[in-house]
Amino acid sequence: MNLTTPIWNESNLCTAIEDFVYKVCFEQMNEQQFKQSLSTLYEAFQHFYSVQLHYTESIQYFIQCKYWIDHFLNGQPISHSLNFNTQQVQTLCCVLYQYRNNYWNELNRFIQQEQQNRNSLYQYLTKLITHYSELLFVRVDLGYLEGQQVYIGIQDVQQHMNILRNRIANQDGCFMGLQGYAWALEQGVDKGYHCHLLLIYDPSKRQNDWYLADQVWQMWNSITGNIGVHFNCNTTEHKQKFMRNDRLGVGPIRCNHPVEVSNALNAAMYLVNPEKYAQHLRVKIPYMRSFGTGQFEVHWRRGVAQTLQQCGY
């Protein structure tokens, strides 16, 4: 990331700090580059740092580094960090070097968690596909306008997601007729905080998948105060790209049609991909979840026991 970015927000700043710590640990950086980058990130982080949030390990080491900087500055402005001597720079580097081993541990934890989420999603979808003869798969990605991300922190995201999940659970408006759903929160370099949403409808109650995704976006925009953005995976244009290769995994899915089922499962697995480490959340509210699905065993679903037996559960 270009550290001359004129407008920082919580998301791109945390990503930039993670990149900086990684470069210090695994790449080459001269003393002047180190001091300049550290000064820029330190000054920006002062505006976003909260002791109430939980940060990934790279940022935790940066926070340790911040305490040393405060000690060295002794009340002077951050611009004086550009005059730190070699010994002071080496002390700060030593703090960050501790991340070297923890990077691989953090990466492995992410991969293991994503694999668990992947297995959970696969089992959930298998139950739904076994239970019904036909389903309507809708995929929509939800995020925030780039120019408004400066006002969006992880606490805002959590609040917006709580409202969205509540409306899904209550089948409000565009969520009427849902048979299942899954969601995943991610953090992109440019897209910032965003949510991948999979909605699975009863096709006897809902037919127009493009319209449904558009209505979800309208609801999201209302929840966020008109600063939401979306990507509709169910537009005719988007679906035609996959139809040409017989890989279409959204829209009406016949559950006794192996190719359609396989395509639907492959499309759904995009939500939980162990290879998308670059999209992981760098900051969370304590105990915050970044992935979830609906429940298959609910009181209103008939014949659940028989389906579980068919699936081997």
pLDDT tens-digit series, residues 272-300? 998 899 999 999 999 999 999 999 999 88
For residue 162, give both structure tokens.
């709580």
The mean predicted confidence, pLDDT, of the chain is 94
- The answer on 240 and 120 residing in a single domain is yes
105 in a domain, yes or no? no
* pTM confidence score: 0.94
Residue 102 in domain? no
Please indicate, yes or no, whether residues 53 and 89 belong to a single structural domain of this protein.
Answer: yes
User: Quick one: average pLDDT of 52-80?
Assistant: 95
* Domain boundary residue, one of 43, 69, 97: 97
Question: Looking at the predicted structure, is the pLDDT value of residue 305 above 80?
Answer: yes
Q: Into how many domains does the chain fold?
A: 2
Task: Judge whether residue 145 has pLDDT over 70.
Answer: yes
**Residue 190, pLDDT above cutoff 70:** yes
Q: Is residue 274 part of a domain?
A: yes
Residue where a domain stops, chosen among 97, 124, 153: 97
Helices 99-131, 86-97: crossing angle, 10 deg rounding:
30
Using one digit for the tens of pLDDT, what is the confidence trace for 191-249? 999 999 999 999 999 999 999 999 999 999 999 999 999 999 999 999 999 999 889 99
Task: Indicate whether 108 belongs to any domain.
Answer: no
Domain-located, residue 258: yes
Q: Decide if 253 contacts 247 (C-beta within 8 A).
A: no
pLDDT level of residue 4 (50, 70, 90 thresholds):
low
Task: State the residue range of the domain holding 85.
Answer: 10-97
- 79 and 160: one domain? no
- pLDDT, position 28: 87
pLDDT at 5 over 80: no
| pLDDT average, residue stretch 36-43 | 95
Residues in Cβ contact with 139 at an 8 Å cutoff, skipping those fewer than 6 apart:
196, 197, 198, 199, 213, 233, 234, 250, 267, 268
Percent of the chain with pLDDT over 90: 89
- 133 and 56 co-located in one domain: no
Residues 36 and 178 grouped into a single domain: no
Per-residue pLDDT, 6: 61
